[in-house]
A and B are shown apart, each in its own frame.
Chain A
Amino acid sequence: MTVLVEARHLTKVFGGGLFSRTHTRALVDFSLRVDADPPSITAIVGESGSGKTTLARLLLGAIAPTSGEVLYQGKTLPSMSSAERRAFRRDVQVIFQDPYDAYNPFYKVDHVLAKPIANFGLARTPSEARLLIEEVLEAVGLRPAETLGRYPHQLSGGQRQRVMVARALLPKPRLIIADEPVSMVDASLRATILGSLRKLNREFGISVLYITHDLTTAYQISQNIIVMYGGLVSEAGDVELVVRQPKHPYTQLLIGSIPSPNPKHRWMTRGAADASAKASTDGSCRFAARCPSAMPRCWEKHPPLFQPDEHRVVACYLHETEPTTMTATAMDEVFVR
């Protein structure tokens, strides 16, 4: 088990300064280790404002944390030499939400694939580059002849997003951070793109951090899941446990809100929680204002992570009596491998 990327007590506060009343704690004390071996798929799930995209940007080094650090192969991002940073940029790739925004409409799609080859010196000759491009396109189920030489607007949304997956695959990365990769494509293409991600994981040994608001696809693709609310982890661990027998009231609410395509499985009873209530911020449990089981102590201090099962942690006082009490540093220790 080698740790590839590690987040240590990451906190990100936006705003502050002149109007210090308006600062937002987007992510609070988040720790996670992502292993390269064995390659894993971990889902990070939360609604808007849960801190999941902030986490992705911190892990990529796109923004600096307010406190805490991100380590790549044991070195913090700011302390890396330029060669090490280059290796980091090659080994950790990202796929963004919007397959429309990522392209320059004036260039053919070939450009978006040729760029990383030039940047990282992945090929010595044009024919070698061409071979490499064809290889990655085929890996994501696209026919090179039908894809290359076209402009972005000539491809469908699903094809564009798969070209993005192919691009991420080019430098043979060890970790792909996929931030809502399927939220803008149709249901039938969703399956195809998630299928390519899983293929990358199984056949190329690439670990995937799958960031989404969609619990259903997270369940389908990942082994472990982290459910976030208001910048904090509410529940994490084996996806089978967390999704099938959720313990945190927020996870239960999320799962109960998903409309089942089977008309016989009716939606849970209505009015279970008031979503218009904002996440509480002043030191109380972030979910307290919406929680049907909130107790007086929930308003005093945000609960730490308790471990009710071997493969799950949950930040809720309802589960305080469970055997072990753990700290956030070791959240990933309960993950299934």
Chain B
Amino acid sequence: MTAERSTVLDVQDLRVYYHTRAGPIKAVDGVSFTLAQSERLGLVGESGSGKSTTGLAILRLIKPPGNIESGQIRLAGVDVMGLSEPAMRRTRLGAIALVAQGAMNSLNPVMRVGDQIIDALIDHGVQASRKALLERVASLFERVGLSRRDMGRFPHELSGGMKQRVCIALAISLRPKVIVADEPTSALDVVVQRQVMDTLADVQADLGAAVILIGHDMGLMAQFVDRLGVMYAGELVEVSPMDAVYEEPLHPYTRLLIACLPSLEQKGVFAGIPGLPPSLLSPPTGCPFNPRCPHVMDRCRVERPVLKQAQRGRWVACHLYDGDGHHDGAG
């Protein structure tokens, strides 16, 4: 469905392991996906599914004991893995920006928020007079729905939603091509969440940037993203257009995930997904979901399924869909 738009981010076979005394924890284990220009892609999964690690790895922000073991990341044609550390620093914020989980708590409490953005601009080589910089930050603030006056405030003078908007203003300050938003609203009330997401949608449309939204709130995904990637135990198990995922989830895990969503539309029976996520230290052989899967077959216990196109634009890693004439790779 995104064939006509050019690819801005291409991730192939990404592997991120955390090295512990007990052995490597395979937090991300062979993730491949592409992101089209101005596309909104969601990554959902339970805690520990590797969704945040994937986001951080794209920005090369994995810290020891974590390590990017292998994989290719091409951002607007540039090989991210091959960049020197200074070049990577310029790429971050410049070409790809992160709105981190709890980003609002990352603001410096003793510095006016406007100055924090000016600092970031100078740090990334923007050369301009103080007056021009102030003007630039003012326009960023207006773009995220804050007032010029707010530039002179300290973080403690702002509400959570306003702080999060400062972080969005910072993220878009150098007009990045990709914004990675990792649970940008997880600490906010629903009404404020709505406003922050509106802000993100506005600036995204404005810049034409692509967004990767990471989270576990399926509702937020449904309202924001074009395409959804479902992660389980460090792997992408399904990538499909959002509408299709909700209408007809393909992977048994996605089906259970959607079935256990509480809704305001009907009072349901509470059914969580039986069992627990696997240990990433010693994942089960075969499909990582096989111990919890209601459709498990003998084959699932020995052979790990790969992400394949099951229908047009829909990719799933499940032996149920292993039929004829499918291609390898990821959409």
A residues contacting B by CB (< 8 A) are: 47-48, 156-159, 186-192, 194-195, 198, 213, 215-217, 219-220, 243-244, 253-255, 257-264, 266-267, 270-271, 273, 275-276
**Inter-chain contact A187/B216, CB cutoff 8 Å:** yes
**Inter-chain contact B223/A259, CB cutoff 8 Å:** yes
Number of interface residues of B (CB under 8 A): 44
Supply 6 A–B pairs (Cβ within 8 Å), ascending by A. Answer: A188-B256, A192-B270, A259-B222, A260-B265, A261-B221, A263-B246
**Inter-chain contact A47/B190, CB cutoff 8 Å:** yes
**Inter-chain contact B191/A216, CB cutoff 8 Å:** no
**Inter-chain contact A220/B272, CB cutoff 8 Å:** no
CB-CB under 8 A from A276, the residues of chain B are 159, 161-162
Q: How far is the CA of A313 from the CA of B135 in the complex (A)?
A: 50
Q: B72 an interface residue at 8 Å Cβ cutoff? A: no
Q: B61 an interface residue at 8 Å Cβ cutoff? A: no
Q: How far is the CA of A275 from the CA of B242 in the complex (A)?
A: 29
- Most-contacted residue by chain A among B216, B242, B262, B271 (CB, 10 A): B262
- 1/0 contact trace for B292-305 toward A, CB 8 Å? 00000000000000
- 1/0 contact trace for B241-270 toward A, CB 8 Å? 011001000000000111011111101101
A47-B191, A188-B46, A216-B262 known; A266 vs B223 contact (CB < 8 Å) = yes
- Most-contacted residue by chain B among A157, A192, A243, A263 (CB, 10 A): A263
A266 nearest CB across to chain B (Å): 7
**Inter-chain contact B264/A259, CB cutoff 8 Å:** no
Cβ contact of B242, chosen from A157, A263, A273, cutoff 8 A: A263
**Inter-chain contact A188/B260, CB cutoff 8 Å:** yes
**Inter-chain contact A267/B223, CB cutoff 8 Å:** yes
Q: B111 an interface residue at 8 Å Cβ cutoff? A: no
**Inter-chain contact B272/A192, CB cutoff 8 Å:** yes
Q: Nearest chain-B residue to A217 (Cβ)? A: B262
**Inter-chain contact B263/A253, CB cutoff 8 Å:** no
**Inter-chain contact B220/A259, CB cutoff 8 Å:** yes
**Inter-chain contact B261/A261, CB cutoff 8 Å:** yes
CB-CB under 8 A from B277, the residues of chain A are 156
**Inter-chain contact B189/A48, CB cutoff 8 Å:** yes
Q: B138 an interface residue at 8 Å Cβ cutoff? A: no
Q: How far is the CA of A31 from the CA of B221 in the complex (A)?
A: 39
- Most-contacted residue by chain B among A188, A216, A264, A270 (CB, 10 A): A188
Q: Nearest chain-B residue to A195 (Cβ)? A: B270
A94 nearest CB across to chain B (Å): 21
Cβ contact of A275, chosen from B192, B256, B265, cutoff 8 A: B192
CB-CB under 8 A from A187, the residues of chain B are 46, 216-218, 257, 260-261
Q: How far is the CA of A195 from the CA of B274 in the complex (A)?
A: 13
**Inter-chain contact B272/A189, CB cutoff 8 Å:** yes
**Inter-chain contact B257/A263, CB cutoff 8 Å:** no
**Inter-chain contact A190/B272, CB cutoff 8 Å:** yes
**Inter-chain contact A257/B257, CB cutoff 8 Å:** no
B55 nearest CB across to chain A (Å): 17
Among B97-105, B193-201, B282-290, B319-327, the stretch in contact with A:
B193-201
Q: B83 an interface residue at 8 Å Cβ cutoff? A: no
**Inter-chain contact B194/A267, CB cutoff 8 Å:** yes
A140 nearest CB across to chain B (Å): 12
Q: How far is the CA of A48 from the CA of B159 in the complex (A)?
A: 11
Cβ contact of B194, chosen from A213, A257, A261, cutoff 8 A: A257
Q: B273 an interface residue at 8 Å Cβ cutoff? A: yes
**Inter-chain contact A257/B222, CB cutoff 8 Å:** no
A215-B264, A255-B264 known; A191 vs B194 contact (CB < 8 Å) = no
CB-CB under 8 A from A156, the residues of chain B are 276-277
CB-CB under 8 A from B6, the residues of chain A are none
Q: How far is the CA of A259 from the CA of B190 in the complex (A)?
A: 9
A186-B47, A261-B246, A275-B161 known; A191 vs B260 contact (CB < 8 Å) = yes
CB-CB under 8 A from B197, the residues of chain A are 259
- 1/0 contact trace for B168-208 toward A, CB 8 Å? 00000000000000000000011111110110000000000
A139 nearest CB across to chain B (Å): 15
A157-B47, A195-B270, A260-B219 known; A219 vs B264 contact (CB < 8 Å) = yes
**Inter-chain contact B270/A258, CB cutoff 8 Å:** no
B48 nearest CB across to chain A (Å): 8
Q: How far is the CA of A156 from the CA of B260 in the complex (A)?
A: 19
CB-CB under 8 A from B222, the residues of chain A are 259-263
A187-B218, A220-B268, A259-B217 known; A275 vs B223 contact (CB < 8 Å) = no
CB-CB under 8 A from B189, the residues of chain A are 47-48, 213, 275
> B residues 127-178 with Cβ under 8 Å of A?
159-162
**Inter-chain contact B271/A191, CB cutoff 8 Å:** yes
| 5 closest Cβ pairs, A-B complex | A192-B272, A259-B219, A195-B270, A47-B189, A191-B272
- Most-contacted residue by chain B among A156, A194, A195, A276 (CB, 10 A): A276
A219-B267, A263-B242 known; A190 vs B219 contact (CB < 8 Å) = no
**Inter-chain contact A253/B262, CB cutoff 8 Å:** no
A268 nearest CB across to chain B (Å): 8
Q: How far is the CA of A204 from the CA of B161 in the complex (A)?
A: 41
**Inter-chain contact A261/B263, CB cutoff 8 Å:** yes
CB-CB under 8 A from A220, the residues of chain B are 262, 267-268, 270
A191-B271, A261-B218 known; A216 vs B263 contact (CB < 8 Å) = yes
Q: Nearest chain-A residue to B196 (Cβ)? A: A275
B218 nearest CB across to chain A (Å): 4
**Inter-chain contact B246/A262, CB cutoff 8 Å:** yes
